[in-house]
Amino acid sequence: MHQSSRRGIARRTLAALAAAGLIACGLGLPAASHAAEGQLRIAQQFGVVYLLLNVAQDQKLIEKHGKAAGIDIQVDYLQLSGGSAVNDALLSGNIDIDIAGAGVGPLFTLWDRTKGRQNVKGVASLGNFPYYLVSNNPKVKTLADFTEQDRIALPAVGVSVQSRVLQMASAKLWGDKEFNRLDKIQVALPHPDAAAAIIKGGTEITGHFGNPPFQEQELAGNPAARIVLNSYDVLGGPSSATVLYATEKFRRESPKTYKAFLDGLDEAAKFITAHPEKAADIYLRVTGAKTDRDLLLKIIKNPEVQFKVRPENTLGMGQFLHRVGAIKNAPTTLKDYFFEDAHTAGGN
């Protein structure tokens, strides 16, 4: 599927959610009626950070592990943009989702608001990737240089992992009381559209907090583009910015499907590490993206990028969000907001 077609699907899906009154305010909706064993619906977004899912889809790894467990699994993938849309889809009955893919920021939001009810928790990480805040404004060299005339594009204002990292960086720069200081100049925009704006220039979008490969395309496509902020610097090293999560109900009622998904995802991570060139070809084939293959391989082989399902360095964000009052519940260990499984044991 071509990039433009994927954007069209995302916009139509978001429009349907908005018409149903679900966008941004749907976090208190009743849990969706999930299917029994053998049915798996996954919501994912844009970028190389979803490569584990792309490989699992192409190689039919989830289906493979399902057969080993004695069940035939039908796996469907839905493309969305932004943590708010993904969270709404997970909890609503309008667009039935079993597993959601989004940033760790949206996970903490949903874990906090569903605790004691739907009990949404993390299932797996999609790996460690540095996320860059890129600007094409020559006056912007640090976070403090952004003004009210600038606009920073990201998947969802206030709740996406990019927005949460900006809040953490703002708190370090201006203090906890000013943690959301830059929220007012943020705009929600799918990564492909935001990248196009940065590369082209001449629009109100002067910053984009994205993910691979969009951030690398911006740096290669516009000589004026530069990295203003690296998420690893804010989070204290390699971290699992994008994760997968689900309701306790789905995990309880579909244990074989759940395990086959985790086993398939773990196999996908090992496949990518062992066969980066094959993984790059799979990404291009499955997504229909026009990403330069050499650039894609550079991202996959980047020593700062690690493909694994065990989450790493996520707890600090949750504790920050509780400290500034963004979530009510304080996470103290990974098992508070992640389901306990062998594949994720030892994470943090």
At 319 the pLDDT is: 97
Predicted confidence (pLDDT) per residue in 195-226, tens digit: 999 999 999 999 999 999 999 999 999 999 99
Query: 103 with 78: CB under 8 angstroms?
Result: no
Span 274-281, average pLDDT: 97
Please, what CATH class does the domain formed by 132-235 belong to?
A: alpha beta
Q: Is residue 315 over pLDDT 70?
A: yes
At 220 the pLDDT is: 94
Distances in whole angstroms, Cα of residue 316 to Cα of each of 119, 168, 273, 319, 334: 21, 10, 27, 5, 10
Buried-exposed string 58-87: b where 16+ CB fall within 10 A, e elsewhere: bbebbbebbeeeeeebebebbbbbbbbbbb
Among candidate residues 269, 274, 250, the one with its CA nearest the CA of residue 310 = 269
- Hey, what amino acid is at 130? P
At 290 the pLDDT is: 87
- DSSP per-residue codes, 271-306: HHHH-HHHHHHHHHHHH-----HHHHHHHHH-TT-B
> Which contiguous run of DSSP H or E holds residue 151?
strand 151-154
Span 88-110, average pLDDT: 80
- Omega within 30 of 0 (cis) for the link into 311: no
Cβ-count burial of 38 within 10 angstroms (0-12 exposed, 13-18 middle, 19+ buried)? middle
Q: Is residue 238 over pLDDT 50?
A: yes
Span 113-120, average pLDDT: 92
Q: Is residue 92 over pLDDT 70?
A: no
Predicted confidence (pLDDT) per residue in 165-187, tens digit: 999 999 999 999 999 999 999 99
Q: What is the pTM of this model?
A: 0.83
At 35 the pLDDT is: 52
Q: Is residue 136 over pLDDT 50?
A: yes
Given pLDDT bands bounded at 50, 70 and 90, which one contains residue 231?
very high
| CATH fold of the domain at 3-129+239-337 | D-Maltodextrin-Binding Protein; domain 2 (3.40.190)
Q: How far apart are CA 42 and CA 125, in angstroms?
A: 14
Handedness of CA 214, 6, 121, 157 (dihedral sign): positive
- Hey, what amino acid is at 292? D
Given pLDDT bands bounded at 50, 70 and 90, which one contains residue 81?
low
Q: Of 18-32, 223-237, 328-342, which range is least confident?
A: 18-32
Given pLDDT bands bounded at 50, 70 and 90, which one contains residue 332?
very high
| Number of CB atoms found within 10 A of residue 297's CB | 15
At 13 the pLDDT is: 37
Span 321-330, average pLDDT: 96
Q: What percent of the chain has pLDDT over 70?
A: 86
Q: How far apart are CA 46 and CA 44, in angstroms?
A: 7
Query: 126 with 50: CB under 8 angstroms?
Result: yes
Q: Is residue 19 over pLDDT 60?
A: no
Given pLDDT bands bounded at 50, 70 and 90, which one contains residue 22?
very low
Q: Is residue 250 over pLDDT 80?
A: yes
HSE-up (13 A, CA, CB side) for residue 16:
14
Domain boundaries, the chain: 3-129+239-337, 132-235
Helix-, strand-, coil-residue percentages of the chain, each rounded to 5: 45, 15, 40
What φ, ψ does residue 154 adopt, rounded to 5°? -160, 170
Q: How far apart are CA 222 and CA 49, in angstroms?
A: 22
Handedness of CA 288, 290, 293, 298 (dihedral sign): negative
Predicted confidence (pLDDT) per residue in 35-76, tens digit: 578 889 998 878 899 999 999 999 999 999 999 999 999 999
Contacts of 299 (CB under 8 A, 6+ apart): 48, 212, 213, 216, 305
HSE-up (13 A, CA, CB side) for residue 9:
15
Among candidate residues 246, 250, 302, the one with its CA nearest the CA of residue 272 = 302
At 93 the pLDDT is: 53
At 94 the pLDDT is: 52
Distances in whole angstroms, Cα of residue 271 to Cα of each of 66, 161, 211, 267, 305: 18, 26, 21, 6, 15
End-to-end distance of the chain based on CA atoms, in angstroms?
36
At which residue do the structure tokens 């069209």 appear? 8
Same fold, 3-129+239-337 and 132-235: yes
At 7 the pLDDT is: 40
Contacts of 186 (CB under 8 A, 6+ apart): 151, 152, 153, 154, 157, 158, 163, 166
Predicted confidence (pLDDT) per residue in 140-162, tens digit: 999 999 999 999 999 889 888 99
- 135 or 20, greater pLDDT: 135
